[in-house]
Amino acid sequence: MKNYSFFGLLVISLLMSTGCSQGSGSDKRSALKVIDNPKLYAEGFKLVNQNCITCHSPSATIDNRIAPPLAAVKTHYLDDTDSKEEFITEMVEFILKPSLEKSKMPKAVERFNLMPLLGYSKEQLTEVANYLYHAEVEKPDWFEKHYEEEKAEFMKYASDDTEDYLKKGLGLALSTKAILGKNLMGAIKEKGTANALGFCSLRAVPLTDSMSMRLNAKIKRVSDKNRNPENAANVEELAYIKQAKLDISENGNASPQTIEKESMIVGYYPIMTNQMCLQCHGNPGENIDEETLARIDNLYPADVARGYGPNELRGIWVVEMKK
Protein backbone atom coordinates (compact mmCIF):
# COMPACT_ATOMS: atom_id res chain seq x y z
CA MET A 1 0.00 0.00 0.00
CA LYS A 2 1.37 3.37 -1.02
CA ASN A 3 0.63 6.47 1.04
CA TYR A 4 0.54 9.94 -0.45
CA SER A 5 0.16 13.17 1.52
CA PHE A 6 -2.43 15.58 0.16
CA PHE A 7 -3.76 18.01 2.74
CA GLY A 8 -0.39 18.24 4.42
CA LEU A 9 0.91 20.06 1.33
CA LEU A 10 -1.98 22.50 1.22
CA VAL A 11 -0.25 25.39 2.95
CA ILE A 12 2.82 25.12 0.71
CA SER A 13 0.73 25.27 -2.44
CA LEU A 14 -1.36 28.14 -1.16
CA LEU A 15 1.68 30.23 -0.33
CA MET A 16 2.80 29.81 -3.94
CA SER A 17 -0.35 31.61 -5.12
CA THR A 18 -0.87 35.34 -5.15
CA GLY A 19 -3.64 37.40 -3.64
CA CYS A 20 -6.46 39.10 -5.45
CA SER A 21 -5.74 41.70 -8.11
CA GLN A 22 -8.68 43.34 -9.78
CA GLY A 23 -6.70 45.84 -11.81
CA SER A 24 -8.64 48.87 -10.59
CA GLY A 25 -5.59 50.68 -9.27
CA SER A 26 -7.38 51.73 -6.09
CA ASP A 27 -5.64 51.39 -2.75
CA LYS A 28 -8.36 49.08 -1.46
CA ARG A 29 -8.19 46.68 -4.39
CA SER A 30 -4.39 46.73 -4.54
CA ALA A 31 -4.19 45.94 -0.84
CA LEU A 32 -5.86 42.60 -1.48
CA LYS A 33 -2.57 41.31 -2.86
CA VAL A 34 -0.96 41.35 0.58
CA ILE A 35 -1.62 38.10 2.45
CA ASP A 36 -0.73 39.27 5.94
CA ASN A 37 -1.58 36.02 7.71
CA PRO A 38 -0.67 32.95 5.59
CA LYS A 39 -1.85 30.48 8.24
CA LEU A 40 -5.29 32.11 8.46
CA TYR A 41 -5.45 32.19 4.65
CA ALA A 42 -4.64 28.47 4.42
CA GLU A 43 -7.24 27.54 7.03
CA GLY A 44 -9.77 29.64 5.16
CA PHE A 45 -9.14 27.76 1.93
CA LYS A 46 -9.67 24.44 3.70
CA LEU A 47 -13.04 25.63 4.98
CA VAL A 48 -14.09 27.08 1.61
CA ASN A 49 -13.07 23.90 -0.18
CA GLN A 50 -14.87 21.65 2.28
CA ASN A 51 -17.99 23.69 2.93
CA CYS A 52 -18.68 26.46 0.41
CA ILE A 53 -17.88 25.23 -3.09
CA THR A 54 -20.80 22.81 -3.36
CA CYS A 55 -23.39 25.61 -3.24
CA HIS A 56 -21.33 28.60 -4.35
CA SER A 57 -19.71 26.76 -7.24
CA PRO A 58 -17.53 28.78 -9.63
CA SER A 59 -18.46 26.48 -12.52
CA ALA A 60 -22.18 25.73 -12.12
CA THR A 61 -24.42 26.86 -14.96
CA ILE A 62 -27.02 29.56 -14.35
CA ASP A 63 -29.85 27.03 -14.41
CA ASN A 64 -28.09 24.70 -11.96
CA ARG A 65 -27.10 27.26 -9.35
CA ILE A 66 -28.53 27.03 -5.83
CA ALA A 67 -26.56 30.05 -4.55
CA PRO A 68 -24.57 32.92 -6.10
CA PRO A 69 -20.93 32.20 -7.03
CA LEU A 70 -18.27 33.30 -4.56
CA ALA A 71 -16.98 35.89 -7.03
CA ALA A 72 -20.33 37.70 -6.95
CA VAL A 73 -20.47 37.53 -3.16
CA LYS A 74 -16.99 38.99 -2.85
CA THR A 75 -17.70 41.79 -5.33
CA HIS A 76 -20.80 42.94 -3.44
CA TYR A 77 -18.95 42.99 -0.12
CA LEU A 78 -15.98 44.87 -1.60
CA ASP A 79 -18.25 47.47 -3.17
CA ASP A 80 -20.14 48.02 0.08
CA THR A 81 -17.25 48.11 2.57
CA ASP A 82 -14.24 50.38 3.02
CA SER A 83 -11.67 48.12 4.67
CA LYS A 84 -10.63 44.53 5.16
CA GLU A 85 -11.86 44.63 8.74
CA GLU A 86 -15.30 45.88 7.67
CA PHE A 87 -15.45 43.28 4.86
CA ILE A 88 -14.75 40.44 7.30
CA THR A 89 -16.99 41.74 10.09
CA GLU A 90 -20.05 42.22 7.90
CA MET A 91 -19.65 38.89 6.12
CA VAL A 92 -19.25 37.03 9.42
CA GLU A 93 -22.26 38.78 10.97
CA PHE A 94 -24.47 37.85 8.02
CA ILE A 95 -23.48 34.17 7.94
CA LEU A 96 -23.87 33.86 11.72
CA LYS A 97 -27.46 35.10 11.43
CA PRO A 98 -28.68 35.45 7.82
CA SER A 99 -31.37 38.08 7.27
CA LEU A 100 -32.65 40.18 4.40
CA GLU A 101 -31.75 43.33 6.31
CA LYS A 102 -28.08 42.31 6.55
CA SER A 103 -27.86 40.93 3.02
CA LYS A 104 -25.81 42.78 0.41
CA MET A 105 -27.42 40.75 -2.38
CA PRO A 106 -31.23 41.21 -2.14
CA LYS A 107 -31.76 39.94 -5.70
CA ALA A 108 -29.88 36.75 -4.84
CA VAL A 109 -32.07 36.32 -1.75
CA GLU A 110 -35.13 36.78 -3.95
CA ARG A 111 -33.90 34.09 -6.34
CA PHE A 112 -32.28 31.58 -3.97
CA ASN A 113 -33.86 32.50 -0.60
CA LEU A 114 -31.75 33.15 2.51
CA MET A 115 -28.93 30.72 3.15
CA PRO A 116 -29.62 28.33 6.04
CA LEU A 117 -28.01 28.64 9.45
CA LEU A 118 -24.78 26.66 9.15
CA GLY A 119 -23.62 26.51 12.75
CA TYR A 120 -20.00 27.51 12.15
CA SER A 121 -18.05 29.36 14.82
CA LYS A 122 -17.15 33.03 14.51
CA GLU A 123 -13.50 32.00 14.31
CA GLN A 124 -14.16 29.67 11.36
CA LEU A 125 -16.18 32.29 9.51
CA THR A 126 -13.43 34.84 10.06
CA GLU A 127 -11.02 32.45 8.35
CA VAL A 128 -13.43 32.05 5.43
CA ALA A 129 -13.99 35.80 5.05
CA ASN A 130 -10.26 36.51 5.26
CA TYR A 131 -9.59 33.96 2.52
CA LEU A 132 -12.29 35.37 0.25
CA TYR A 133 -10.95 38.90 0.75
CA HIS A 134 -7.52 37.90 -0.57
CA ALA A 135 -8.20 35.04 -3.01
CA GLU A 136 -8.67 35.54 -6.75
CA VAL A 137 -12.21 34.19 -6.75
CA GLU A 138 -13.28 36.59 -9.49
CA LYS A 139 -11.05 34.77 -11.97
CA PRO A 140 -12.85 31.92 -13.80
CA ASP A 141 -10.10 29.41 -13.09
CA TRP A 142 -9.22 30.39 -9.50
CA PHE A 143 -10.41 27.15 -7.89
CA GLU A 144 -8.97 24.93 -10.59
CA LYS A 145 -5.68 26.82 -10.29
CA HIS A 146 -5.46 26.11 -6.57
CA TYR A 147 -6.27 22.46 -7.10
CA GLU A 148 -3.73 22.10 -9.87
CA GLU A 149 -1.09 23.61 -7.59
CA GLU A 150 -2.06 21.16 -4.85
CA LYS A 151 -2.02 18.23 -7.23
CA ALA A 152 1.35 19.22 -8.66
CA GLU A 153 2.85 19.03 -5.18
CA PHE A 154 0.81 15.95 -4.36
CA MET A 155 1.98 14.00 -7.40
CA LYS A 156 5.68 14.52 -6.64
CA TYR A 157 5.41 11.67 -4.16
CA ALA A 158 3.55 9.27 -6.45
CA SER A 159 5.25 6.54 -8.42
CA ASP A 160 5.14 6.62 -12.21
CA ASP A 161 2.79 3.64 -12.43
CA THR A 162 0.12 4.97 -10.05
CA GLU A 163 0.21 8.76 -10.25
CA ASP A 164 -2.41 8.99 -12.99
CA TYR A 165 -4.76 6.74 -11.02
CA LEU A 166 -4.23 8.75 -7.84
CA LYS A 167 -5.07 11.99 -9.61
CA LYS A 168 -8.01 10.44 -11.45
CA GLY A 169 -9.43 8.93 -8.26
CA LEU A 170 -9.32 12.27 -6.49
CA GLY A 171 -11.19 13.93 -9.33
CA LEU A 172 -13.85 11.21 -9.39
CA ALA A 173 -14.38 11.45 -5.63
CA LEU A 174 -14.68 15.25 -5.76
CA SER A 175 -17.11 15.12 -8.68
CA THR A 176 -19.35 12.70 -6.81
CA LYS A 177 -19.10 14.73 -3.62
CA ALA A 178 -20.23 17.82 -5.53
CA ILE A 179 -23.33 16.10 -6.93
CA LEU A 180 -24.35 14.67 -3.55
CA GLY A 181 -23.63 17.93 -1.77
CA LYS A 182 -25.60 20.00 -4.23
CA ASN A 183 -28.65 17.74 -3.92
CA LEU A 184 -28.43 17.53 -0.14
CA MET A 185 -28.10 21.28 0.31
CA GLY A 186 -31.03 21.79 -2.03
CA ALA A 187 -33.12 19.41 0.08
CA ILE A 188 -32.10 21.15 3.32
CA LYS A 189 -32.97 24.58 1.93
CA GLU A 190 -36.34 23.36 0.65
CA LYS A 191 -37.42 21.02 3.45
CA GLY A 192 -35.19 21.59 6.48
CA THR A 193 -32.67 19.20 8.02
CA ALA A 194 -35.08 16.60 9.38
CA ASN A 195 -37.04 16.17 6.16
CA ALA A 196 -33.88 16.25 4.04
CA LEU A 197 -32.98 12.89 5.59
CA GLY A 198 -35.35 11.39 3.06
CA PHE A 199 -32.85 12.36 0.37
CA CYS A 200 -30.07 10.52 2.19
CA SER A 201 -32.28 7.46 2.64
CA LEU A 202 -33.62 7.24 -0.90
CA ARG A 203 -31.27 9.10 -3.21
CA ALA A 204 -27.68 9.13 -1.89
CA VAL A 205 -26.71 5.58 -2.87
CA PRO A 206 -28.50 5.65 -6.27
CA LEU A 207 -26.85 9.00 -7.09
CA THR A 208 -23.44 7.58 -6.18
CA ASP A 209 -24.09 4.53 -8.35
CA SER A 210 -25.21 6.79 -11.18
CA MET A 211 -21.96 8.75 -10.94
CA SER A 212 -20.03 5.48 -11.01
CA MET A 213 -21.64 4.57 -14.33
CA ARG A 214 -21.16 8.05 -15.74
CA LEU A 215 -17.49 8.23 -14.72
CA ASN A 216 -16.69 4.60 -15.58
CA ALA A 217 -15.40 3.69 -12.12
CA LYS A 218 -16.86 2.11 -9.01
CA ILE A 219 -17.35 4.84 -6.41
CA LYS A 220 -18.77 4.45 -2.93
CA ARG A 221 -18.75 5.99 0.54
CA VAL A 222 -18.08 3.72 3.50
CA SER A 223 -17.55 4.11 7.24
CA ASP A 224 -16.70 2.18 10.38
CA LYS A 225 -19.74 3.91 11.95
CA ASN A 226 -22.32 3.65 9.20
CA ARG A 227 -25.90 4.86 9.12
CA ASN A 228 -27.01 3.05 5.99
CA PRO A 229 -26.05 -0.67 6.08
CA GLU A 230 -24.98 -0.35 2.43
CA ASN A 231 -22.18 1.99 3.55
CA ALA A 232 -20.44 -0.41 5.94
CA ALA A 233 -16.67 -0.67 5.40
CA ASN A 234 -15.07 -4.03 4.60
CA VAL A 235 -11.90 -5.40 6.20
CA GLU A 236 -9.47 -3.62 3.85
CA GLU A 237 -11.34 -0.35 4.18
CA LEU A 238 -11.45 -0.64 7.96
CA ALA A 239 -7.68 -1.07 7.98
CA TYR A 240 -7.24 2.18 6.09
CA ILE A 241 -9.75 3.98 8.34
CA LYS A 242 -7.82 2.84 11.41
CA GLN A 243 -4.55 4.14 9.96
CA ALA A 244 -6.17 7.40 8.86
CA LYS A 245 -7.47 8.05 12.38
CA LEU A 246 -3.99 7.42 13.74
CA ASP A 247 -2.54 9.89 11.23
CA ILE A 248 -5.10 12.51 12.25
CA SER A 249 -4.31 12.06 15.94
CA GLU A 250 -0.58 12.43 15.26
CA ASN A 251 -0.39 15.19 12.67
CA GLY A 252 -3.92 16.48 12.09
CA ASN A 253 -4.33 15.10 8.57
CA ALA A 254 -5.38 11.83 6.97
CA SER A 255 -3.44 10.91 3.84
CA PRO A 256 -5.13 9.36 0.79
CA GLN A 257 -3.82 5.94 -0.15
CA THR A 258 -3.95 3.55 -3.08
CA ILE A 259 -3.72 -0.21 -3.23
CA GLU A 260 -3.02 -2.22 -6.34
CA LYS A 261 -5.04 -5.32 -7.15
CA GLU A 262 -4.88 -7.72 -10.08
CA SER A 263 -7.06 -5.76 -12.46
CA MET A 264 -7.55 -2.43 -10.71
CA ILE A 265 -6.17 0.39 -8.60
CA VAL A 266 -8.25 1.29 -5.54
CA GLY A 267 -8.01 4.76 -4.02
CA TYR A 268 -9.06 5.71 -0.49
CA TYR A 269 -9.87 9.38 0.19
CA PRO A 270 -10.85 10.71 3.65
CA ILE A 271 -14.21 12.34 4.37
CA MET A 272 -13.93 14.82 7.25
CA THR A 273 -16.82 16.28 9.22
CA ASN A 274 -17.71 19.94 9.16
CA GLN A 275 -20.22 21.89 11.24
CA MET A 276 -23.00 21.20 8.75
CA CYS A 277 -22.50 17.45 9.12
CA LEU A 278 -23.10 17.66 12.85
CA GLN A 279 -26.77 18.53 12.35
CA CYS A 280 -27.24 14.83 11.55
CA HIS A 281 -24.01 13.21 12.76
CA GLY A 282 -23.20 15.16 15.92
CA ASN A 283 -24.44 14.61 19.46
CA PRO A 284 -28.19 14.34 20.18
CA GLY A 285 -29.42 17.32 22.16
CA GLU A 286 -26.30 19.30 21.32
CA ASN A 287 -26.11 19.27 17.51
CA ILE A 288 -29.04 17.03 16.51
CA ASP A 289 -32.46 18.43 17.38
CA GLU A 290 -35.36 16.25 18.54
CA GLU A 291 -37.21 16.26 15.21
CA THR A 292 -34.10 15.24 13.28
CA LEU A 293 -33.18 12.56 15.84
CA ALA A 294 -36.67 11.04 15.66
CA ARG A 295 -36.43 10.96 11.87
CA ILE A 296 -33.01 9.27 12.00
CA ASP A 297 -34.24 6.64 14.45
CA ASN A 298 -37.24 5.92 12.24
CA LEU A 299 -35.28 5.62 8.99
CA TYR A 300 -32.17 3.93 10.44
CA PRO A 301 -32.98 1.80 13.52
CA ALA A 302 -29.41 0.44 13.68
CA ASP A 303 -27.70 3.82 13.17
CA VAL A 304 -24.29 4.34 14.77
CA ALA A 305 -23.22 7.36 12.69
CA ARG A 306 -23.54 9.96 15.42
CA GLY A 307 -21.43 11.43 18.19
CA TYR A 308 -18.97 13.16 15.86
CA GLY A 309 -17.29 16.50 16.40
CA PRO A 310 -15.93 18.85 13.72
CA ASN A 311 -12.86 17.81 11.72
CA GLU A 312 -13.19 14.12 12.51
CA LEU A 313 -12.99 11.22 10.06
CA ARG A 314 -16.59 10.48 9.14
CA GLY A 315 -15.76 7.88 6.48
CA ILE A 316 -13.93 7.49 3.19
CA TRP A 317 -14.46 7.57 -0.54
CA VAL A 318 -13.47 4.32 -2.21
CA VAL A 319 -12.72 4.63 -5.93
CA GLU A 320 -12.00 1.48 -7.95
CA MET A 321 -10.38 2.13 -11.33
CA LYS A 322 -9.57 -0.44 -14.00
CA LYS A 323 -5.94 -0.69 -15.05
Question: Residue ranges of the domains in the chain?
Answer: 7-144, 158-322
User: Which of 131, 157, 126, 129 shows the shortest CA–CA distance to 3?
Assistant: 157
pLDDT value of position 288: 94
CATH architecture of 7-144: Orthogonal Bundle (1.10)
Does position 184 have pLDDT exceeding 50, yes or no?
Answer: yes
User: Which of 108, 132, 107 shows the shortest CA–CA distance to 51?
Assistant: 132
Instruction: Name the band, by pLDDT with cuts 50, 70 and 90, for residue 160.
Output: low
Spell out the SS3 assignment of 58-101.
Answer: CCCCCCCCCCCCHHHHHHHHHHHCCCHHHHHHHHHHHHHCCCCC
- C-beta of residue 316 within 8 angstroms of C-beta of residue 240: yes
End-to-end CA distance of the chain: 16
Per residue in 42-80, pLDDT tens? 888 888 877 787 778 777 666 667 788 898 899 999 999
**Is 138 exposed, middle or buried (CB count within 10 Å of its CB: 0-12, 13-18, 19+)?**
middle
Question: Mean pLDDT lowest for which of 156-165, 208-217, 267-276?
Answer: 156-165
CA angle 220, 7, 207 (to 5 degrees): 20
* Beta carbons within 10 angstroms of residue 28's beta carbon: 14
- Alpha-carbon distance of 283 to 183, in angstroms, equals 24
Give the residue with greater pLDDT, 230 vs 172.
Answer: 230
Does position 244 have pLDDT exceeding 80, yes or no?
Answer: yes
- Indicate if the alpha-carbon torsion angle 28, 30, 36, 38 is positive or negative: positive
Percent of the chain with pLDDT over 70: 79
- C-beta of residue 222 within 8 angstroms of C-beta of residue 237: yes
Question: Mean pLDDT lowest for which of 90-94, 121-125, 213-217, 218-222?
Answer: 213-217
- Alpha-carbon distance of 281 to 239, in angstroms, equals 22
